[in-house]
Amino acid sequence: MASENDLKSSRISDAPAKASLVNDPKVRAIFYQFLLLVGVVWFFVYIFGNLNANRASQNIRTGFDFFSNTSSFEIGFTLIPYDRASTFADVLLVGLLNTLLVSVIGIVLATILGFALGIARLSSNWILARLATIVVETLRNIPLLLQMFFWYFGVLKLMPNVKQSLELPLFIVFNNRGIVTPEPLFSDNFGIVWTALLVAIIASYFVTRWAKARQDATGIRPPAARINTALVIGFVAIAWLASGASLDWSIPVLQGFNYKNGIHIPPEFLALLWALTLYTAVFIAEIVRAGILAVPKGQSEAAQSLGLKEGDRLKQVVIPQALRVIVPPLTSQYLNLTKNSSLAVAIGYPELVSVFMGTSLNQTGQAVEVVLVTMLIYLALSLITSAFMNWYNARIALTER
C-alpha cells in the first residue's frame, strides 16, 4: 500500500529532469525512517544500558529465576490449590485467574444491566427514564476508585458480623465476611453426567440448526426450544440414574470465628464486582442508547405498522440493527472493565496487580521483571478480547450486496 504510493509519487518527481536526491520523496521517506529506526534503537540501548549499570552497581538481582522460587506467603482467595510452598509462577496464575473471574462475571452482569439501563433511558415511561438518567449521570461522573472505596469501606461497615449473620434460604449465609454458599461435592463418577450434558448441548445445537433450516424452507417453525429442553433434561437424568453418581452438598456451619465448609465469596470480590459492574454498565447504557437512537425511526414505525409489540419491535428490529453501532465501543468497555479490575489492589482482592505487582514485587525486589510481565499479560488479554470482538463484529456486520 505505502510502497505503491511512494512509487507513484517518485515516478511523478522523476518525470521532469532528474531532481536532486534530497527532493525525491522516496529517498526522503527512507531517510526519515532510518532516522526513526536509529532513534528507537538508540532509545532502547540507552535505557537498558542504564538499567544494567544501575542494577550492577547496586547489586540488585535480575532474571526470571524467581518464578520457580517458593512464594512463602498465603493468598486469601484462590481458584486453584495454593499454599505458602507454591512458586511465584503459581502466584501469577492465581492472580490472573482471579482477574479473569471478576472480569468475566463483571462483563456479563454489566452487559445485562447496561442494556437494561440504556433501554430504560429511552423508555416511554417518564419516571423510569428519569430514574435511569439520574443513575447514569451520577455514576459515570464519579471516579471508579472512589466508588469502590464507598462500596467496600462504606458499606462493609453496615453488614452484620459473623455472629449475627443473615441466614438466607438454601443455606446461604451473608455477613461482613462475604457470602458463604453450600458447595456441591461431586462423586468420582460424576464425569458421566457432565459428558451427557455436553453431548446434549451439542445435540441441541444441531436441533436448532435443523429447526432454522426447516423454518426457512417450509415456513413452519418446529418447537426447537421444547425439544432441546427435553434433550438436556433427559440425557442428564438418564446418565445420572444409570451411573449412580451422587451429588452431596457441603453446608456452611458456624464454627469458631467463621463459617466452615461451603464456598466462601469474600466481600472484596463482591465490592469489586459490584463497583465494576455498575460503573461499566452506565457507560454501556450510553452506548446502547446511542446505538438505538442511530436506528432510523422509520424502522420501528415500520415494525409498528406490521403489528409487532413493543418488546418484539426492540428484539426483532431495533436491537439487531443497533448492535452494529454498539459492538465496537462495547469492546472497549469490556477491555476497560478488565483493566479497571486492577484497582482491586486498593481494596485487597487478590488479583493480578495485587498479588503479583504488589506482594511478589516486594518479596522478590525485581521490579523490572515483575512490572513487565504484568503489563504483557494485560496487553495479551486486551489483544485477545479485541480479536474476539472483531471476529464477532465481522459476523454481525451488514452484508451489503
Minimum distance, C-beta of residue 260 to other proteins, in the bound complex (Å): 7
Task: Report the candidate in 377, 396, 272, 386 with the shortest Cα–Cα distance to residue 329.
Answer: 386
Nearer to other proteins, 61 or 209 (CB): 61
In the shown chain, the binding pattern of residues 96 to 135 toward other proteins, with x for contact by CB under 8 A and - for none, equals ---------------------------xxxxxx-xx--x-
In the shown chain, the binding pattern of residues 307 to 336 toward other proteins, with x for contact by CB under 8 A and - for none, equals ----------------------------x-
Pick from 157, 226, 297, 401: which binds other proteins (CB under 8 A)?
157
Minimum distance, C-beta of residue 399 to other proteins, in the bound complex (Å): 23
- # residues near other proteins by CB under 8 A: 100
Question: How far is Cα 272 from Cα 290, in angstroms, rounded to an integer?
Answer: 27
Question: How far is Cα 147 from Cα 108, in angstroms, rounded to an integer?
Answer: 20
Site for other proteins in 64-93 (CB under 8 A): 72-76, 83-84
Site for other proteins in 169-208 (CB under 8 A): 176-177
Question: What length does the chain have?
Answer: 401
State whether residue 192 is helix, strand or coil: helix
Minimum distance, C-beta of residue 33 to other proteins, in the bound complex (Å): 4
Question: How far is Cα 153 from Cα 347, in angstroms, rounded to an integer?
Answer: 8
Question: How far is Cα 366 from Cα 289, in angstroms, rounded to an integer?
Answer: 46
Q: Is 6 in the site for other proteins (CB under 8 A)?
A: yes
Residue 219: enclosing H or E segment and its boundaries? none
Q: Is 345 in the site for other proteins (CB under 8 A)?
A: yes
Pick from 182, 222, 329, 358: which binds other proteins (CB under 8 A)?
358
Query: CB of 58 within 8 A of CB of 52?
Result: no
HSE-CB of 55 using CA atoms within 13 angstroms: 15
Question: How far is Cα 174 from Cα 160, in angstroms, rounded to an integer?
Answer: 8
Nearer to other proteins, 193 or 353 (CB): 353
Going by the DSSP 8-state scheme, the letter that residue 67 receives in this structure is G
Minimum distance, C-beta of residue 362 to other proteins, in the bound complex (Å): 3
Q: In what order do the strands lie in the sheet with 166-168?
A: 166-168, 172-175, 178-181, 263-265
Q: Is 60 in the site for other proteins (CB under 8 A)?
A: yes
Task: Report the candidate in 120, 126, 128 with the shortest Cα–Cα distance to residue 289.
Answer: 120
Q: Is 304 in the site for other proteins (CB under 8 A)?
A: no
In the shown chain, the binding pattern of residues 23 to 42 toward other proteins, with x for contact by CB under 8 A and - for none, equals ------x--xx-xxx-xx--
Minimum distance, C-beta of residue 186 to other proteins, in the bound complex (Å): 23
